[in-house]
A and B are shown apart, each in its own frame.
Chain A
Amino acid sequence: EPEVTQTPSHQVTQMGQEVILRCVPISNHLYFYWYRQILGQKVEFLVSFYNNEISEKSEIFDDQFSVERPDGSNFTLKIRSTKLEDSAMYFCASSVTRGETQYFGPGTRLLVL
């Protein structure tokens, strides 16, 4: 069964550094998403992406964040100048089309020191 994959599974970085989180959505899916879950808190929407552009973004997704689909398979989330409060689990998800079920990847646990 096709799955969303994410790399790395864990990332430790120093405050102020840039990180890139990678995702490979399910191959026939057209919509891609990033969510964040701070430990013990709810899953929060960051951004959705369709047809090589951002479809929607939340208040969390400020200028520090960017997304890109650099090739036909990868979908990345870049966090510039990381802050302590960026420490969280970051989930990538994808769906066949708008409004359909979103399937989540295993997540990348980011720790900013």
Chain B
Amino acid sequence: QKEVEQNSGPLSVPEGAIASLNCTYSDRGSQSFFWYRQYSGKSPELIMFIYSNGDKEDGRFTAQLNKASQYVSLLIRDSQPSDSATYLCAAQLPNTGNQFYFGTGTSLTVIP
């Protein structure tokens, strides 16, 4: 079973706070994980990817991966109103070719 689970939210944080978005996956074969941001009615836009255990930082964003717990998260520091969107977690399983399995997404609202 290849499931990616996310809390659908909505998650609300005040401007300047840290937003924490979580994702779990069921298939231990998952190797690469991607965080996309999707504004309403728009296409998914890549934020970052991670494939090694630990943290990966890119500007205000930090992705965290724990393969033992089958858990991946995204932290957004100094949240801005423009960060308000749905955040999609995707897992890529090499044994199934190249397709991405997406979660349902977490809706984030940053309150000014």
Task: Establish whether residues B103 and A42, one from each chain, have CB atoms under 8 Å apart when the complex forms.
Answer: yes
Given known A99-B32, A101-B34, contact A106–B42 (CB-CB < 8 A): yes
Q: Which residues of chain B (68-90) have a CB below 8 Å from chain A?
A: 88, 90
- Total A-B pairs, Cβ < 8 A: 55
What's the least CB distance linking A50 to chain B, in Å?
A: 8
Q: Which of A44, A99, A105 gathers the greatest number of chain B CB atoms within 10 Å?
A: A99
In the complex, chain A residues whose CB is within 8 Å of the CB of B49: 101
Task: Establish whether residues A48 and B88, one from each chain, have CB atoms under 8 Å apart when the complex forms.
Answer: no
In the complex, chain A residues whose CB is within 8 Å of the CB of B92: 99
Task: Establish whether residues B43 and A55, one from each chain, have CB atoms under 8 Å apart when the complex forms.
Answer: no
A58: Cβ under 8 A from any B Cβ: yes
In the bound complex, what is the Cα–Cα distance between A33 and B98 (angstroms)? 9
Task: Establish whether residues A56 and B88, one from each chain, have CB atoms under 8 Å apart when the complex forms.
Answer: no
In the bound complex, what is the Cα–Cα distance between A56 and B100 (angstroms)? 11
A45: Cβ under 8 A from any B Cβ: yes
In the complex, chain A residues whose CB is within 8 Å of the CB of B112: none
Task: Establish whether residues B105 and A45, one from each chain, have CB atoms under 8 Å apart when the complex forms.
Answer: no
Among B90, B96, B104, the residue within 8 A (CB) of A56 is B96
In the complex, chain B residues whose CB is within 8 Å of the CB of A31: 98
Q: Which residues of chain A (39-55) have a CB below 8 Å from chain B?
A: 41-45, 48, 50, 55
A102: Cβ under 8 A from any B Cβ: yes
In the bound complex, what is the Cα–Cα distance between A44 and B3 (angstroms)? 12
Please count how many residues in chain A sit with their CB below 8 Å of the partner chain's CB atoms: 24
Task: Establish whether residues A98 and B43, one from each chain, have CB atoms under 8 Å apart when the complex forms.
Answer: no
Interface residues of A, Cβ cutoff 8 Å to B: 31, 33, 35, 41-45, 48, 50, 55-56, 58, 91, 95, 98-99, 101-107
Task: Establish whether residues A107 and B43, one from each chain, have CB atoms under 8 Å apart when the complex forms.
Answer: yes
Task: Establish whether residues A91 and B98, one from each chain, have CB atoms under 8 Å apart when the complex forms.
Answer: no
Task: Establish whether residues A104 and B99, one from each chain, have CB atoms under 8 Å apart when the complex forms.
Answer: no
Among B42, B46, B105, the residue within 8 A (CB) of A103 is B46
Task: Establish whether residues A99 and B98, one from each chain, have CB atoms under 8 Å apart when the complex forms.
Answer: yes
What's the least CB distance linking A55 to chain B, in Å?
A: 6
Type the 1/0 row for B8-36, where 1 means its CB is closer than 8 Å to any CB of A: 00000000000000000000000110101
